[in-house]
Amino acid sequence: MKRLTLADCFDPTGERFGIPTFPWRCAPNDLATRRQLRSRGLRPGGQDIAAQILRPRRRREPLTAYLYRVDLARPVRPMTPGRWRAHEAMMRARRRCPRCGADAGYVIPPTLGTCVTCAYPEEQRAA
Ligand SMILES: [Zn+2]
């Protein structure tokens, strides 16, 4: 495959790549990457990817970054007391051992499926 040049990456109508495509550093100001949105306190907010930027690289696939429309972005949702409570409840559930029902004090490792005491009763007694 012929190596992409920066000029090849200019496809604002998406004719070549299927979605509007701009060369690195040449994206319009009304589009931003997820990280750029985040630095402005915004998130994509469920919108579809609007465009991509491509950065050709020597002997490798081009770097791709997806762009979102700034005008459709939403503010990052701040943590409210209700959202903190939901978060706490979720973490409590993840610390609860399904076998002995105790709060293990740590998130139950998915590989064990129970707290360490239930997973290794012999070692716990010997210790
Ligand atoms: Zn247990």
DSSP, residue by residue, 43-96: E-TTPPP-EEEEEEETTEEEEEEEEEEGGG-EEPPPPPHHHHHHHHHHHHHHHB
Ranges under pLDDT 50 in the chain? none
Which pLDDT score, from 0 to 100, does residue 106 have? 94
Residue 33 neighbours by CB under 8 Å, 6+ apart: 53, 65, 66, 67, 68
Ligand 1 centroid – CA 20 distance (Å): 53
pTM above 0.75, yes or no: no
Separation of alpha carbons 28 and 78, rounded Å? 28
pLDDT, one tens digit per residue, over 46-63 is 999 999 999 988 888 889
- Name the residue ranges covered by the structural domains of the chain: 7-75, 90-126
Which pLDDT score, from 0 to 100, does residue 2 have? 67
Ligand 1 centroid – CA 123 distance (Å): 14
Which pLDDT score, from 0 to 100, does residue 4 have? 82
Which pLDDT score, from 0 to 100, does residue 124 have? 66
Ligand 1 centroid – CA 85 distance (Å): 24
Inter-residue contact 105 to 91 (CB < 8 Å):
no
Mean pLDDT over the full length of the chain: 91
Which pLDDT score, from 0 to 100, does residue 125 have? 65
Structure tokens at 78: 């701040």
Which pLDDT score, from 0 to 100, does residue 49 have? 97
